[in-house]
Structure 1
Amino acid sequence: MTETTETTGRQAPHPAGGEPVEARVPADLRHVVPREPQQPTAPPRSRPPEPRSPAVATVAATAAARGHGGRLALAVLLLGQFMAILDVSIVNVALPTLRTDLRTSDAGLQLVVAGYVLSYAVLLITGARLGGIVGHRRTFLAGLAVFTLASAACGLAPGTGTLIGFRFVQGAGAALMTPQVMSMIQRTFTGPARARALGLYTTVVAGGIVVGQAAGGLLVSADLFGSGWRPVFLVNVPVGVVLLAVGRRVLPVDGGRHGAGLDLPGVLVISPAVLLVVLPLILGHDEGWPAWCAASMAAGVALFGLFAAVERRVAARGGRPLISARVLRAPGLLPAVAVLILAPASWGAFLFTTTLHLQGELGMGALGSGLAFIPCVVAFGLVSLNWQRLPGHWHSRLIPAGFALAAVAYLWIGPLAGGGVGYEALTAVIGLGLGVMPIVMTVALAHVPVEDAPDASGLLLTVMQLGQVTGVATVGTVFLTVAADSHSTRHAEYATGWSLAATALAAACAALVLARRRASVTG
């Protein structure tokens, strides 16, 4: 009786499902089950493939990431990110040659460097949103194409004005390209694979600046075909062309959210807000910190407040704000933002001031000073690529411990500023401490919904960029002021070490809050 009830209580499948209906019904009850009318069989007709939803596309992309195609896609993304970071620093060592060749003024040299950083920082959040709207793959390839063409134009520029203009365009291309890297990692990889990918990502971000200094010195010193400074830009062209060709084949396709808007009011407020804060930080020291620097930063802070009000109004009207409150409410994201401002500030300032010291009082060339950071980058990569091998309950504790280690190491910059093995070992210890930054990014993104990954990645990239600029402007000013007063970069390293230690210690305190948030969520 039980068998009869269970059999008749469920819907009979269609015969096309495989086994006939009668074969699944007891023989004494087959007269109860109505027979479906037999239809003449016809050859199956081919139908066009149905469009895949974003969720299906994400699943397909994740499956692809498990094979060789996924590793090749990751290589394309990281190389694109590497080129964008490289161009922040590769031009620095070419400035003396550029000044002689183009008869460029001091202000022109500043804008050659600042133009790229400004457009890059200002447009990062907008680039992240565009990726979410039209698709990360499409936006990454478009940004890579703009970046590659602008690099060629910079390398062929006939004068300072055109070079500055194309540097702004180059930064815009980088702002389109780089937010998609973290978003595609977030959407494509899961679990340990995502942790490894984020570790590689952070190593590329940190190492790109150092490699840029060394590569710039090598290219300028080689003076290929008498081209002087131009190869520091032209080197991007063949790499970009290869990445475009390979990327079209291996990057996972995603359709974006075609119904989502760009939040134009938010873009029109946040872009000048970032510009007004970043511009005086870049140009303030060389200009002697005139009154307009303070006024500009104050206006930028006011616009950030206006931006928050605009975003609340957009959300209240049913729109999708540029930075949604849901992203900011993700557990641990706000403490991670604080950490990712402070830690890159100390990292950027350390690279900047140490390079000036190595090329100043220690008399190293551009190539030698770049190679001097190799122990630091190796140690950084050692931690960032292997921390996930440790027990899971250690991860949240590693973050404040790493920054505390970096803070202690920074205090020894002055006493060991004479160079030698001890100084190189010190840079390695600093790299070990700062190597915990990938853990911060992993924790920050762990509880962000996949559909909000573009917004979160744009926010994190923007604060990291602003953190580096802030560190160079503040700690760099301390270094340059003391060096000018004492006529010794070694004396300046003492003051720099204390400033960097304070910044790293503040990052460690923010990391403690992040670790507690993480523990409360996982507990």
Structure 2
Amino acid sequence: MTTTTPAGPGSTPGTRPASSKTPATDNRPGRLLATVLSAQFMALLDVFIVNVAVPTIGSELHATGAELQLVVAGYSITYAVLLITGARLGDLFGHRRVHLVGLAVFTAASLACGLAQGTGELIVFRLVQGAGSALMIPQVLSLIQRHFTGEARAKALGAYAAVLATGAAAGQVLGGILVSADLLGTGWRPVFLVNVPVGLVLLAVGSRVLPRDDVSAPERSRGLDLPGLVLLGAAVSLLTVPLVLGQEEDWPLWSWLCLVAAAVIFALFCGYESRLARRGGAPLIAPRVLRHPGIGLAVFRLLAVMSVNAGFLFLLTLHVQGGLGYTALRAGLTFAPTAVVFGLVGLTWRTWPAAWQPALIPGGFLLAALSVAGVGLALHGGGDGGPWLYAAFAGVGAGLALSFSPTLTRALATVRPEDAADASGLLATVTQLGQLIGVAVFGTLFLNRLESLGAPGAYTSSDALLACMYALAATATLGAVSGLVRRRR
């Protein structure tokens, strides 16, 4: 495995190889990858780890439904809004520096969340947590793109994809374990405090392992596209806020106006960025990244697979805790088969026979479609599903892994190192928006269906779940069709 940045467009003669050592830095690639992926996994856990702790938080802090929604969603709001900004800041000030700053902010905010005495404090610190993640996570992909090449880069991207998607299910599992353990009578607080020792260790290790930033990197001279940042931030905010709060507020008029305004401002952003690029300026996202072969199709596939992934986890959480009355621990462990299989397939698919590789993405989407429908059928009638349920869970994990990991890896494998920050911010934002869309759309469908069926209970919840699982299967089928179209080309 090598960490030398390959020569190519944008490289300069005489650039020091990324594998060279300085007295204060240990640049061994395996340690670099383990460090940044551990930080990413911790941050991704926090998107979902709070879900199973919500009932306990509500009872202990006497929080309203809207306040609990903000506790859960506040992290996602600032995270999604600031991801591309975080990627650009990494280009300007150095990926190592910005990653460590983001990790420090995230760790401090986790401590503050765990010690919060009221809902207002918790909401504010969750917003800060999301901002720390938005600084930290885009640097992970940029560091991989810049310090790995060839086969080593492909393997690193495969590990990145596996970590990125297993964090959701693992967060549900770990959240259930921590809440049920009630360590020293602390209730929900360990779901935040667990990040503190891990974050401190990663800060200490990262200061030694992460490569020193190249102060002569040409992209430092690009500057910060402030108008582009403002337009994109406004568009993502106007999209994100109604998606995470609309269901709780019963989709009021303001939520629909925000969605329309988001589309208008995003169109303005695209027009401004195109004009800036034609004038020779430095747009927030280089147009050549958007024109890169496979990026457009990858965006569609990532939106589809992450919508299915997040929607599936959210619907099952509602059903098993609300309809079946599972404890937080049992609810969390329900997702273990999906997380384990996702991780295994995500890490090994590249070693499968070459003849299988062209069919992995459409086949993965199709397997996911059949498996989520199987989960709905297994749970229909209000039962626990029996052994067939766990086979369906494994199928969901394998199908989503095959849909997600090859899509992300192949889209990024040929991106030029100087475009790493742009691609990182773009695809990380798409991934996060896919999760938000999945929760908003399928969560709304489930709750509306449940309300129309009358008295709540295991049977009516299972009926609502089955309808939503069919909708998830249809979404996955669209992803399979996109894979077949690309394959024919």
Structure 1 residue 470, shift from structure 2 partner: 0.3
Letter of the structure 2 residue corresponding to residue 462 of structure 1:
T
2:253 to 288, 291, 303: 291
2:18 to 60, 64, 69: 60
Separation in structure 2 between the aligned mates of residue 177 and residue 138 of structure 1, nearest angstrom: 10
> Does structure 2 conserve the Cα–Cα contact (< 8 Å) formed by 1:192 and 1:388?
no
Moved more, 436-445 or 363-372: 363-372
Q: Which has the higher contact order (CA 8 A, sep 6+)?
A: 2
Separation in structure 1 between the aligned mates of residue 60 and residue 321 of structure 2, nearest angstrom: 22
Separation in structure 2 between the aligned mates of residue 489 and residue 336 of structure 1, nearest angstrom: 34
Separation in structure 2 between the aligned mates of residue 377 and residue 339 of structure 1, nearest angstrom: 20
Q: Which residue of 2 aligns with 1:388?
A: 350
Structure 1 alignment gaps of length 5 or more: 1-52, 518-523
Compared with structure 1, are the counterparts of its residues 57 and 106 closer, same or farther at alpha carbon in structure 2 (3 Å cutoff)? farther
Compared with structure 1, are the counterparts of its residues 251 and 361 closer, same or farther at alpha carbon in structure 2 (3 Å cutoff)? same
2:479 to 507, 510, 520: 507
Q: Which residue of 2 aligns with 1:363?
A: 325
Compared with structure 1, are the counterparts of its residues 68 and 136 closer, same or farther at alpha carbon in structure 2 (3 Å cutoff)? closer
**Structure 1 residue 494 and structure 2 residue 455: aligned?**
no
Structure 1 residue 193, shift from structure 2 partner: 2.2
Structure 1 residue 393, shift from structure 2 partner: 5.1
Could you report, residue by residue, the CA deviation over 1:136-191 in whole angstroms, capped at 9, with x for unpaired residues? 11111110011111111111222222221111111000000001111111222223
**Structure 1 residue 455 and structure 2 residue 422: aligned?**
yes
1:434 to 400, 423, 430: 400
Q: Which residue of 2 aligns with 1:103?
A: 62
Could you report, residue by residue, the CA deviation over 1:437-465 in whole angstroms, capped at 9, with x for unpaired residues? 11101111123211001100110010010
Could you report, residue by residue, the CA deviation over 1:301-341 in whole angstroms, capped at 9, with x for unpaired residues? 10100000110122133211111111011111110011011
Q: Which residue of 1 aligns with 2:72?
A: 113
Moved more, 154-163 or 421-430: 154-163
Q: Which residue of 2 aligns with 1:207?
A: 166
SS at match of 1:161: helix
TM-score (norm 1): 0.85
Separation in structure 2 between the aligned mates of residue 95 and residue 272 of structure 1, nearest angstrom: 29
SS at match of 1:320: coil
**Structure 1 residue 247 and structure 2 residue 206: aligned?**
yes
Structure 1 residue 62, shift from structure 2 partner: 9.0
Separation in structure 2 between the aligned mates of residue 381 and residue 91 of structure 1, nearest angstrom: 21
> Does structure 2 conserve the Cα–Cα contact (< 8 Å) formed by 1:140 and 1:176?
yes
Separation in structure 2 between the aligned mates of residue 284 and residue 469 of structure 1, nearest angstrom: 11
SS at match of 1:287: coil
Matches within 5 A, 1:68-217: 69-217=28-176
Q: Which residue of 2 aligns with 1:475?
A: 442
Q: Which residue of 2 aligns with 1:13?
A: none
Separation in structure 2 between the aligned mates of residue 291 and residue 182 of structure 1, nearest angstrom: 38
Could you report, residue by residue, the CA deviation over 1:180-235 in whole angstroms, capped at 9, with x for unpaired residues? 11111122222332222222222222221222222222222222232222221111
Separation in structure 1 between the aligned mates of residue 152 and residue 21 of structure 2, nearest angstrom: 12
1:233 to 175, 189, 192: 192
Structure 1 residue 372, shift from structure 2 partner: 1.7
Compared with structure 1, are the counterparts of its residues 60 and 240 closer, same or farther at alpha carbon in structure 2 (3 Å cutoff)? same
Structure 1 residue 54, shift from structure 2 partner: 7.4
Moved more, 342-351 or 411-420: 411-420
2:387 to 393, 396, 421: 421
Letter of the structure 2 residue corresponding to residue 287 of structure 1:
E
Structure 1 residue 382, shift from structure 2 partner: 2.4
Q: Which residue of 2 aligns with 1:405?
A: 367
Separation in structure 2 between the aligned mates of residue 472 and residue 58 of structure 1, nearest angstrom: 45
1:268 to 205, 218, 230: 230
Larger radius of gyration between Structure 1 and Structure 2: 1
Could you report, residue by residue, the CA deviation over 1:484-522 in whole angstroms, capped at 9, with x for unpaired residues? 3323211112201210011101112222344456xxxxx
Structure 1 residue 378, shift from structure 2 partner: 2.2
> Does structure 2 conserve the Cα–Cα contact (< 8 Å) formed by 1:330 and 1:447?
no
Compared with structure 1, are the counterparts of its residues 350 and 174 closer, same or farther at alpha carbon in structure 2 (3 Å cutoff)? same
Q: Which residue of 1 aligns with 2:305?
A: 343
1:465 to 406, 420, 432: 432
Compared with structure 1, are the counterparts of its residues 445 and 468 closer, same or farther at alpha carbon in structure 2 (3 Å cutoff)? same
Compared with structure 1, are the counterparts of its residues 237 and 57 closer, same or farther at alpha carbon in structure 2 (3 Å cutoff)? farther
**Structure 1 residue 281 and structure 2 residue 243: aligned?**
yes
> Does structure 1 conserve the Cα–Cα contact (< 8 Å) formed by 2:20 and 2:27?
no
Compared with structure 1, are the counterparts of its residues 63 and 402 closer, same or farther at alpha carbon in structure 2 (3 Å cutoff)? farther
Q: Which residue of 2 aligns with 1:25?
A: none
Report % sequence identity: 54
Could you report, residue by residue, the CA deviation over 1:59-109 in whole angstroms, capped at 9, with x for unpaired residues? 324999xx9921111111111111111111111222222223222222111
Separation in structure 2 between the aligned mates of residue 55 and residue 358 of structure 1, nearest angstrom: 59
> Does structure 2 conserve the Cα–Cα contact (< 8 Å) formed by 1:144 and 1:244?
yes
TM-score (norm 2): 0.90
> Does structure 2 conserve the Cα–Cα contact (< 8 Å) formed by 1:129 and 1:322?
yes
What's the C-alpha RMSD, in Å, of the aligned pairs? Answer: 2.0
Letter of the structure 2 residue corresponding to residue 332 of structure 1:
G
SS at match of 2:221: coil
> Does structure 2 conserve the Cα–Cα contact (< 8 Å) formed by 1:340 and 1:467?
yes
Between the two proteins, the alignment pairs up a number of residues equal to: 463
Structure 1 residue 381, shift from structure 2 partner: 2.0
Structure 1 residue 120, shift from structure 2 partner: 0.1
> Does structure 1 conserve the Cα–Cα contact (< 8 Å) formed by 2:27 and 2:209?
no
> Does structure 2 conserve the Cα–Cα contact (< 8 Å) formed by 1:118 and 1:168?
yes
SS at match of 2:301: helix
Compared with structure 1, are the counterparts of its residues 261 and 325 closer, same or farther at alpha carbon in structure 2 (3 Å cutoff)? same
Structure 1 residue 110, shift from structure 2 partner: 1.1
Separation in structure 1 between the aligned mates of residue 309 and residue 319 of structure 2, nearest angstrom: 15
Separation in structure 2 between the aligned mates of residue 193 and residue 366 of structure 1, nearest angstrom: 40
> Does structure 2 conserve the Cα–Cα contact (< 8 Å) formed by 1:54 and 1:254?
no
Q: Which residue of 1 aligns with 2:316?
A: 354
Structure 1 residue 483, shift from structure 2 partner: 2.1
Structure 1 residue 373, shift from structure 2 partner: 1.8
Structure 1 residue 56, shift from structure 2 partner: 6.1
Compared with structure 1, are the counterparts of its residues 150 and 58 closer, same or farther at alpha carbon in structure 2 (3 Å cutoff)? farther
Could you report, residue by residue, the CA deviation over 1:3-34 in whole angstroms, capped at 9, with x for unpaired residues? xxxxxxxxxxxxxxxxxxxxxxxxxxxxxxxx
> Does structure 2 conserve the Cα–Cα contact (< 8 Å) formed by 1:61 and 1:253?
no
Separation in structure 2 between the aligned mates of residue 73 and residue 342 of structure 1, nearest angstrom: 31
